[in-house]
Structure 1
């Protein structure tokens, strides 16, 4: 009978009709007396009420479960929400909620009875949560946050030397599964970490031993420990969270699982020693006969720099390098725009493909002459005259010529060379045939399909030359220089690979052409030998700490006690570190991550940092709450405005409006220009004199930074010492690089090298494309990391920043900064 939700009576002449209305059907009964209708209505009312009361236990249980969830004394995270919904729906199936809906809609139930009325109110509350779950949880969380702000006001006022800001308090209270706090320079990131952990302990969300706080450097970890000790003392709390570096954590995990502390490789702390180790490994790889072709390609490419485009590989001067050129003007124009490349043998060649061939010949003891001048006798109109041309390679021991033509598989030249090229190729072929000169040819297409070196070796053997690898220990200065560059690249690449938690077994790099494939073959060979060297000597390096620790956590050989993980400087995290953190979180369903950082200060891609983990945390960790710290206690508003406006020109950076406690804007930036390479330091000294005089009048001291993109531009340490001695009463002066200044601050900052050009700023020198294959994906916005680096330099300044530039070659960044709205306000 409960299926009937409403009953209606329609009177007639003698009898009426009764309509029974259900949720899915309507039944009409005719010929019903009014008295029968009244009895039916009473029966339905009593029956519905009886069924309702029969379900009161389950209704109360459902209501108490839902109310207990909404009134819980914690922030409802996504995992808590999902856990409740899963348990709720398992205990109370869909049929039960359908029944509640019928009770709620049944108008015949007498609500005047207290118990019935109470049950009906509970049903409404349960159904509201059922059908408006997300909205009610969101509103409940907002109410909870407001209550907590008031309830814990005293803690937030006293946990640090300065009361926490509203933003810092919100960051402490919000407890999503993954919480990313997007900070500004000088906004109190450490205070936020301390406040969050103290709040979590006060709320008894976690025990102290369940909290892990991670820093990247030992100094940062020690600083965090000191801040925590002070905060805990203020709150009369004794037990402290586990605060350590990532590498210290990795070592702890390994030692716990293996029962002994592994021995750290002696080169782990010493870059020069690491390079020596790699030098021995590279030497072994290069002596391997199976790698001789890759070695040649590798050395040639590294000597060539960053150019690997097809045009640069095959750009020849065949049109212009002999007397067949139509005009001297054409020849000179071509020489000006054609790259000139030095081989291991010391001569200059005109394309990367020629460079590779020449170096392979040199390294295999094949004597050759590059572009040997050849005299020919002209026929026809100029019969009897002698002209000259220069075939690419000549092998004097067997009197054989070798031309390398920029032709594809169809015998056609690329469009950028010009139509005349193919006709000259045909002319050369005809000349060699008619003069019965021994010669062979190779083509650019052979580089694309990888056949060029095997073909070259076979041709030379046909003419009686047998290539044999040189003894690499006795190579020329050119080879030593190339080998040193090679080892430097391998040092960078191996650390990049291992920082990402990769090994030779799971490296998933995709080479983009024949040359990059050859390079990758060598990378794998070197990496395998390096891994073998670690295993053979039972050693571990810093990268191995994270790789091995991650494996132990993932396979549950290590049982993690950590349920709440906090990370400082999260913008610097690598894929290897992310893997370890994710594995730790996955061991506990109730685990939470709190990561603090500033994507505007992401400047360590070269060291393996992957900014994508910060900017798209949800992709890597799941449901994420983003909060902001926009109040800065360091720079004044003028510097904050200029730096923020500049860095946000990149649309991929997180957007925020920075508010400074110091509201000064006027004259906080100054441009100092000079005439010569050595003119920057006198300009600095002039300003130091002015600052010292002003500070003396105020009886104040100030800190000064002299910063540069490149260390070589900085004043010599002796000059810094001299200035510190002269101005010791008022100034403390430090010189360092942009990267070295990260995390530091000064009253005044001088930024050197704001020039354009190859060694200017932003740096236009990119990592070699082969190296970039192993690095985290770069930003698509031009000079994105250089832009963030300038932001870091600017925001070291509390009072004023001086930008130094040589007259006539201002930096692109300086020109852009001068375009800031109301520039006259900010610049002196």
Structure 2
């Protein structure tokens, strides 16, 4: 039967044999291997131009009712999903309208439709049976006429419209009293609201904006008992690996939006901001030590007053010589660094004065510490008077509101993906028994009130979000017992196959849609593809545990198979990816026929021999690059290295229109530049450097269309998140430091109610670094900064440090 391509009848027969003999897994394995060879022969005879692997044919040959295909980077998951559709239509003679394929965005659906058309001459219309989740949901339960969507049809998980809608709600409530916290209660409270007591002269200050300001300021006493309680609440043992991760990766955000590494630094930065004293955080200086030149980043520079502030992390008079447990430095190392830094300002940079604070001064609380800062500044004749609260709010109001809106959007996304209404969330928040005036509790209360308003405003303004689309579809299928007609004319109860792309991005809400289809159509089969190593969307509510627990979620006749061969990258890149993800699952394999040896370089941009940008020639470098603005010297170094790397591939870029260089960043900015600004600077530099090739150079940075009608740029920049699904001959990762990979946002702790533990956050950051590195087909460059006291180093995720 298999030799005659009668696959359905052969499958039926083998199922009878398996039931008859009960447990014969080896029989199933041998059968699927034989079947895959027959499928391969069929495709080689009918589609000779298409090159496919034995792994892909084995995946297609699987006879489980529910299959999860774990497809590593570059393994051809989209091709395999398309191959399954072709097999079902050509070999099993299934009506193509009874095969539904679901993707997360319209670009992915177009890619599958195009592959089927070009490679296999199978024609599908977009938004019918190969569609996005929201398109399918819209077919089942269409939005009423005149209702506006709060998502982008091309990428429904994008949040621009959602954020704008939430920000408008917050804008209207900005000056209103927050009823959940009465004025008298705040006056009598401690914690994050202690500082407001001085300003609460009447009820107008008990507003949303003031409460949000208090959250941003995050007042608290700095003492070990408080930290111990916090750790206990998170089930973290003092001195454990989890404690080390917690303290090492925790950062704080200042009122003016800077990331700093300690509570003391945050207090100093907030104080300077609230007293209108201009400063730079971790400015750039060069210093010599042990015969070498280093980059040195003191904590703060008050550049208008020529004052440096260093906040020491130890008590230098401590007889026990204790350092924080999460430090890698010894007491003696740190004391030596302190001496070298003090000597630097006394002997080298005599034009600066050094103001010193230390960790012991925080023990009396923030107010006492601020008093110390004030006294020290007065010694240098800096009269520091705190701005009125209204003036402070005027300075930060817009930024504060937009950043808080983003947090609320994340809260709403996670709640809705978990199928939690505002009422359910209130019950969950109450059940956590948070301290009433803790930062987390106040944030959750505020966010849930705005979530409630959000739901009301949607109805009043005739709007619907992406999650409503899915929820309404689930409800419609339930109400109609599955009797829902799709655009193709097929009833959901008649669907035979449901194929799902990017399964690692699933959430409980997506799962609810699939399971309700299965409930009323129990014969429908699942073919899901994804890669748990590329699960990087938890911020939108995705839960990789649904991927890892596939056989528990679908307990009847389910299986997990693997696509491990990376056809995109050479073995150098593949091996690096495996090292990054050691002990995190099945490894990837390189194409055995690909003998290319790739380049992997990690460059410390601050090393003297690695760059020509020094303090004494900064003007010349700016002139060479055509830069006449006040630009951060570290940004110049990143530009310098990036330009030099691209320059080595310039001939390949000009000769081969499909040769690509991809510049990636963990954040949307590189120092002061947006990624768009950064890539524009590079273009300008190359145009100035090669004026005779100006037109050819500009083409490299312009949008083009490839043979498959896909838009691309030969040289482009993206965030690491945006790079998922992309590939390039050369990848350059900017700021590949321990400060960016992992980048653990302090506000991550606000979302623990959704299961966002520190371990999970760090695991996702590791996966994000893996995604960034494995975009490279051939060569990878990691650019990072390492400074004198190792505040910044190459990311720990880079495996060759072990």
Indicate yes or no: 2:707 matched with 1:819: no
Which residue, out of 517, 526, 537, partners 1:604?
Answer: 537
Q: Is 1:718 the equivalent of 2:680? A: yes
* 3-state SS of paired residue (2:522): coil
1:75 and 1:176 in contact (8 A); partners too: no
Map residues 337-348 of structure 1 onto 2, 5 A cutoff: none
Q: Which residue of 1 aligns with 2:587?
A: 656
- Correspondence for 1:683: 641
For 1:230-629, list aligned pairs within 5 A.
Answer: 230-233=118-121, 242-255=129-142, 262-265=147-150, 270=161, 273-280=164-171, 282-283=173-174, 286-288=177-179, 299-304=213-218, 311-312=225-226, 476-477=394-395, 482-507=400-425, 508=428, 510-511=431-432, 513-514=434-435, 515=438, 516-556=440-480, 558-559=482-483, 560-561=492-493, 562-623=495-556, 624-629=558-563
Contact 2:573 2:598 in 1 (8 A): no
2:574 corresponds, among 611, 632, 640, to 640
Question: What is the DSSP-based 3-state SS (H/G/I as helix, E as strand, rest coil) of the residue aligned with 1:741?
Answer: coil
The Cα offsets for residues 303-341 of structure 1, whole Å up to 9 and x where unpaired, read as: 3299999845899xxxxxxxxxxxxxxxxxx99799569
2:620 is the counterpart of 1:668: no
How has the CA–CA distance of structure 1 residues 259 and 603 changed in structure 2, closer, same or farther, with 3 Å as cutoff?
A: closer
Contact 2:727–2:776 (Cα < 8 Å) also in 1: yes
Quote the offset at 1:241 in angstroms.
7.2
8 A contact 2:70–2:560 mirrored in 1: yes
Q: Which has the higher contact order (CA 8 A, sep 6+)?
A: 2
C-alpha distance in 2 between matches for 1:752 and 1:532: 43
| Structure ID, larger Rg | 1
Q: For the residues of structure 2 that align with 1:581 and 1:247, how far apart are their CA atoms?
A: 13
Post-superposition shift, 1:621? 2.7
Shift of 1:797: 1.0
Q: SS at the partner of 1:181?
A: strand
Distance in 2, Cα, partners of 1:806 & 1:192: 41
Q: Is the 8 A contact 1:177 1:593 kept in 2?
A: yes
1:739 to 699, 712, 721: 721
Q: Is 1:76–1:141's contact at 8 Å kept on the other side of the alignment?
A: no
Please tell me whether the aligned partners of residues 489 and 771 of structure 1 are also in contact (alpha carbons under 8 angstroms). no
Once the two structures are superposed, residues 652-685 of structure 1 have per-residue CA deviations (whole angstroms, 9 ceiling, x without a partner) of: x322242235644645201223225121221222
For 2:127 and 2:667, the matched residues in 1 are separated by 41
Moved more, 683-692 or 504-513: 504-513
Matched, 1:187 2:166: no
Task: Note the C-alpha offset of 1:524.
Answer: 2.8
CA deviation map 1:256-307 (0-9, x unaligned): xx88684425897535532433314644874436666696665423332999
Q: Flag the 1:175–1:658 CA change in 2: closer, same or farther, 3 A.
A: same
Could you tell me which runs of 5 or more consecutive residues in structure 2 were left unpaired when the two chains were aligned: 1-5, 153-158, 187-207, 230-261, 277-358, 365-387, 484-491, 607-632, 701-713
- CA shift, 1:525, in A, is 2.1
Relative to 1, partners in 2 of residues 1:619 and 1:793: Cα closer, same or farther, differing over 3 Å? same
Q: Helix, strand or coil for the counterpart of 1:162? A: coil
Deviation at 1:789, TM superposition (A): 1.1
Cα 1:625–1:533 change in 2 (3 A) is same
TM-score (norm 1): 0.59
Moved more, 556-565 or 299-308: 299-308
Unpaired runs of 5+ residues, structure 1, are: 1-69, 85-124, 316-333, 349-415, 422-469, 822-828
Structure 2 counterparts to residues 201-212 of structure 1, below 5 A: 201-204=89-92, 206-212=94-100
> 2: distance between equivalents of 1:557 and 1:177?
21
- Kindly indicate whether the alpha-carbon contact (under 8 Å) linking 1:635 and 1:797 is maintained by their aligned counterparts in 2: yes
CA distance in 2, matches of 1:703, 1:182: 27
SS in 2 for 1:553: helix
User: 1:599, CA displacement in angstroms?
Assistant: 1.0
Q: What are the superposed Cα offsets for residues 23-75 of structure 1, whole Å, 9 maximum, x if unpaired?
A: xxxxxxxxxxxxxxxxxxxxxxxxxxxxxxxxxxxxxxxxxxxxxxx997254
Aligned equivalents of 1:335, 1:548: Cα separation in 2? 45
How large is the Cα RMSD of the aligned pairs? 4.4
Shift in Å, 1:772: 3.6
Aligned-partner Cα distance in 1 for 2:94–2:222:
55
Q: Deviations over 1:562-604 (max 9, x none)?
A: 3311111111122221211221122212111111111111111
Q: Secondary structure at the match of 1:740?
A: coil
Distance in 2 (CA, whole Å) between partners of 1:533 and 1:345 is 36
Residue equivalent to 2:348:
none
Local SS of the residue matching 2:726: coil
Counterpart of 1:21? none
Q: Secondary structure at the match of 2:9?
A: coil
Deviation at 1:347, TM superposition (A): 8.0
SS at match of 1:670: strand
Q: Structure 1 residue 220: deviation in Å?
A: 1.3
| Equivalent pair of 1:672/1:802 in contact (CA under 8 Å) | yes
1:646 CA displacement = 1.1
State TM-score, norm by structure 2.
Answer: 0.61
What's the CA shift for 1:746?
0.8
CA pair 211-347 structure 1, distance change in 2 beyond 3 A: same
Give the whole-Å Cα distance in 2 for the aligned partners of 1:481 and 1:518: 20
Equivalent in the alignment of 1:226: 114
Paired position in structure 1 for 2:22: 133
